[in-house]
Structure 1
Amino acid sequence: MSVNTIFKNAMLSGAVLSASTFSASAFSANVFAVEASSSLNCVTINNDLAQIEAFKQAGTYRFAKGGVQRINFDFASNKPFQDYLVAARTHINAQNPKANMPCPISTPTSKRLYADKPLQVVDLIAPFELKADNEKAAVLLIHGLTDSPYLFHDLANSFVEQGISVRTLLLPGHGTAAEALVDIDQADWRQAASYAIKSMLNDFDNVYLGGFSTGGALVVDYLNRNTLSESELQKLKGVMLWSPASEAKASMAWAAKYVSWFKDYLDEAADIDFAKYESFPANAGAQVHALMKRIAPKKLKGLSNTPFFVVASEVDQTIETDATVNILARWHAQNGAAQAQDKLVYYYANKVADQLNALPRSLKTVTTFSCEGQVYCEHVLDLAHTSPTNAPSNPHYGWQGSYRNCEHLTGTDLFASCKTTSSPTLGELTEENLQATPNLQRLTFNPYYEQMLEQMQGFIASTLK
C-alpha cells in the first residue's frame, strides 16, 4: 500500500490493534503456520496465494521471535565495525522468524561474501563489509524504512569493481520483524548512523556516504548537525543518495504520531518479502516524519563543500520530490567550489520544457534516458520510489525476480492478478497509473540502471582526486 493510501486509511479506520491484544489463539495460529511452512524457502513462499493470506491473518512473520529485543551492541562505543557485524547477525538469528529459512537467491555480492555456500535469509539481509582490491576509497550505505542491506547488493558489487570498499548498516528495528518498529525512535537510527559514519572516517582515507530514502535523510542529518574535523573533511569525498527522504508525499504524514497512540499498524501484511517488511507500523511513519523535519531546507547549515550525487523520480509517491529538489538547491548554493561536482539524476514521467526548467539551472542534471532493446521496456511506465538501487537482473526485485510488490492491493481481488499475471505493467503508484492499470505492480528495479552507474562513476571520478 502506498504511504499516501496508508495515511488516508489510518484516518478513516476506527480499528485498533496492539501487541497487547495479541491473543493466545493468534499465537497458536502463528506457531502452527511456522511449523507448516518449514519446507518453504524465500522464493517458493511467493507462490501460494492462499498461504500468503494465512500468513497475513496469523501474523506469522510480523512478530519477532521471543518478543522484541534490542541489539546487543553499544552504538555509543568505538568498537570495531566487525564487532558490530557479528552482533547484528546474532540479533537477526535471534529475532527474525525467517532468519534460517533457505534462500536460494544468488547475487554478485552474495557470491563475494559466501562463495557457493547454501544461503539462508540471514545471509542476505545482514549488514556486511566488502573489501576491494587496490582500494581507492570506501562507501557506507544505509537502507531505508522497513528495508534491509539486501537493497544494496547490486550497487555494492559495482562499487567493489571500481576499487571502492563497501560497508552497510542495519538500522535498529530492521532485519527482524515489523513488530520491532512499533516502539522504535528515530534517535536510535541517528545513533546507529553516527557510529557507522564515525567508523568510516576513522578507518578509511577516502570516504563516501550513501543512503536510500530514510538512510539518505540520516546521512544529511548527521552532516548538518555535526562539525567534522579538518581531517574528516579532507577524507569525505562526497554523498550519494537514492530517493532521499525529504518530506512525505502523504499530506497526513504528521498524523502518524497520534495514530500510533491507538493503533500499532497502519497496514498488516503477510511479510513474505525476505528483504523488507510489508506490514507498516504507525510509529515507523511517525519517526521518519520527525527525522525529515530535522533536515528542512531552512535548517541546512553544515553541508557546504560536500559534493552530492542524487537519484530521484518526479513521480515518487512516498517522498515529495519537489521538497528534495528544494533541499538540493539550498545545499548546492552553499557548495562553493564543489558546485561543479554536484549531480542530480532526475527521472521525469513526461519530459516537457517547463518541468526541465523548474530545476535549478546551475545544478548539473541528467534528464534524458532511454530504455531500448530489453523486453521489460514496454512494461515499465515510470520510476517508482522503490526502484533506483536495483538492477533489472536482480533475482529478487528485478524484471524476472521472485518477488512482486503488490501490497497496495492487499485485501482486494486485484492482489491475485498483480501477483500472477504473465504480462505485468510496472510503475509508481500514481493515481493516473492505477486508473489505467488497476493491477499495477509497483516497480522495484531501475530500467536505467546501467546509465545511472555511468553517471555515478563520473561523479566518483570527479571527486576522488
Structure 2
Amino acid sequence: MLSRLCLLLVSLVGLVSCALPPDSPLFQPSDSLPAYDQDSFDQYVSANRAWIADNRVFLSDDRNVEIQLNTPFELRPDKPAKRGILFVHGLGASPWYFSDIATAMANDGWLVRSILLPGHGSRPADLMLPDFDDWENIVAHHAGLLSAEVEELWLGGFSTGANLVTSHALTDEDVAGLLLFSPGLHPDNGYLFLAPIISHLWDWVDIDDEDNIATYQSLPTHGAALYYRSVGVVQKKLEATRFDKPVLITMSQHDSVLDPNATLDAFQTRFPNQQSRFVWYGDTPQELDDPRVTALASRLPDRRISTFSHMSVLFAPENTYYGEEGSYLMLENGQNDLSPPDDLDNLWFGAWGHVVAGKYHARLTWNPHFLDLLDSIREVTGDG
C-alpha cells in the first residue's frame, strides 16, 4: 500500500487534479467505525466481525473468507502461555497478514493476537474516518489487555504498524521486545510531508481496481497523512531515546517506498541490544561491521526472483493466497510500459516497479527464506 504514496509525488510534481473515484460504495465511507476498547479480546473480535459483515463491500462470492481475512484473531498454544505477542498490520492491509508467523509462534507456545487498525477491513473510503489517536489508542489498549494475561509481552508490526508498536514500546516498560517487518521508520519520499495539507484538498492519492480481499488497492490522502504522522512520532521518540531491549528488524535492499540504509543506520544507533538482529534481503551492505546483521540473497534466478518486495517477508511460500502457488497474483506492479506475458511460466517476481529488459515482474508476495525468518525470530526472542 505504501507504494501508492509514490503516486502522490507524481500528482504534486505534475500538478494534476485529484483522483476521482467511481460511483461505488467502495469509495463512500461507512457511517462509523467499530469500537476497539472492549473489556476482553473475545468481545473485540466479535464486535469487529459483526461490523465487517455489515459494512464491508465484498469483492468475491465467498463472504465468509473475506470476513475471516479481515477480522482480528487470536491463536492460543496447547498449554497456558507465559509469553504473548500483539501484531499490528500496515496501511491498507489486514490482521491476516500475520497468519503464517502467528501460526508458527503459537506452535512454539506463544499467545498471539493480531488486531485491525480502525479504517481497515471494510472499504478503502473508511481510511478517511480514523484519527491518529485511534491508531495509538488501539495499540495501547490491546497491549494492556495482553500484558494482563502473560508474563512477557512482545509487540510486532509491519510497515506502518511497526511504527505504531515501536512508538508504544518506547514508553511502555511492560514491552519485552519488538518484531518489526519492513518498518516504515524512514520513507523514501521527500514530498510525504505534504500529505496532511493535500488531505484537506484532495480525497484520494490513488484509485485502483479493488480485487484483493486482504488489502486495499486504493488510498485516500487521509490514509497517507496518518502514515506520515506515524513517521514523525516514532522518529521524534527515537531521537530522544534508544530501545535497549531485543528487536528483530527485516528490510529488503530494494524496498520501493522506504530508505533501507537509513533503517539499517537506525538499527545500529537506536537499538543497541546485542541479542537484536537485522535481516537484510539483498547484497551485504558495504563497510558493514555489525555481527547482528545477516544478509540473505534476494536474487534467486532459479525461482525467477530478482528482488524482494516491501511485503514479501511476511508470507510462507505455502500460503494459499499470497504464496508461490497462491490464488492471488499481483500482476499490476508499476511497470507501465510493459505487459504481462501470456505464459505465466515466464513471469518474474520482485519489488514494486522493478524493471529488467525482456522480463515482466509481478510483485513478490512470499518469502523464500521464510523458515530462516522463523529461526531469526526464535533467536531474538530466546526460543532458539
TM-score exceeds 0.5: yes
**Structure 1 residue 413, shift from structure 2 partner:** 7.2
For residues 220-263 of structure 1, give each alpha carbon's deviation from its aligned partner in whole angstroms, at most 9, with x where no partner exists: 11122x243xxx3xxx3321110011121222111222222222
2:49 equivalent in structure 1: 89
Q: 1:297 to 1:256 in 2, by over 3 A?
A: closer
217, 231, 234: which one aligns with 1:278: 217
Alignment check: 8 A CA contact 1:99 1:122 kept: no
Q: Which residue does 2:76 correspond to in 1?
A: 131
Please give the secondary structure, in 2, of the residue aligned with 1:341. Answer: coil
Write 1 or 2 for the structure with the bigger share of helix. Answer: 1
Corresponding position of 2:303:
378
Q: 1:183 to 1:394 in 2, by over 3 A?
A: same
Q: Is residue 450 of structure 1 aligned with residue 371 of structure 2?
A: yes
SS at match of 1:426: strand
The one-letter amino acid paired with 1:188 is D
CA shift at 1:200, angstroms? 1.6
CA contact (8 A) 1:68 1:179 kept: no
2:353 paired with 1:425: no
Q: Which 10-residue stretch deviates more, 190-199 or 93-102?
A: 93-102
> How is 1:204-353 mapped onto 2 (pairs within 5 angstroms)?
204-224=150-170, 226-228=171-173, 232=174, 236-296=175-235, 299-301=238-240, 303-333=242-272, 339-348=273-282, 350-351=283-284
Relative to structure 1, the CA distance from residue 436 to residue 17 in structure 2 (aligned partners, 3 Å threshold; closer, same or farther) is closer
> Which runs of no fewer than 5 residues in structure 1 stay unpaired?
28-58, 104-118, 334-338
Give the alignment partner of residue 69 of structure 1, picking from 8, 20, 32: 32
Give the aligned residue type for 2:295: T
Kindly state the Cα deviation for residue 407 of structure 1 after the two structures are TM-superposed.
Answer: 3.6
Task: Percent identity, please.
Answer: 23
- RMSD (CA atoms): 2.7
Residue in structure 2 matching 1:14, options 10, 13, 16: 16
Q: Deviations over 1:164-190 (max 9, x none)?
A: 121011000000110011243222111
SS of equivalent residue, structure 1 residue 324: helix
After superposition, the Cα gap between the structure-2 partners of 1:63 and 1:150, relative to the gap in structure 1 and judged at 3 Å, is farther
SS in 1 for 2:312: coil
Give, in angstroms, the shift of residue 437 of structure 1. 5.5
Whether the 8 Å CA contact 1:61–1:98 is kept in 2: the answer is no
CA deviations over 1:42-89 (Å, ceiling 9, x no partner): xxxxxxxxxxxxxxxxx464445xx34111x253x6x11111111111
User: 1:357 — aligned with what?
Assistant: 287
Q: Identify if the C-alpha distance between structure 1 residues 356 and 419 changes in structure 2 by more than 3 Å, giving closer, same or farther.
A: farther
Per the alignment, residue 133 of structure 2 pairs with 187
Q: Do the aligned partners of residues 201 and 363 (structure 1) sit closer, same or farther apart at CA in structure 2, a change above 3 Å counting? A: farther
Report the Cα distance in structure 2 between the residues aligned to 1:437 and 1:308, rounded to whole angstroms. 40
**Quick one: distance in 2 between partners of 1:418 and 1:189?**
41
Residue 114 of structure 2 aligns to a residue in which SS? strand
State how far apart, in whole Å, the 2-side matches of 1:90 and 1:437 are.
Answer: 48
3-state SS in 1 of match to 2:234: coil
CA distance in 2, matches of 1:439, 1:161: 38
Deviations 1:347-405 (A, max 9, x none): 12x34xxx2424xx345111145888xxx843111111011100111111111211122
Greater Rg by CA: 1
Question: Contact 2:251/2:281 (CA < 8 Å) preserved in 1?
Answer: yes
Determine the C-alpha separation between the residues in 2 that align with 1:96 and 1:370. Answer: 36
Residue 378 and residue 17 in structure 1: after superposition, are their counterparts in 2 closer, same or farther (change >3 A)?
Answer: closer
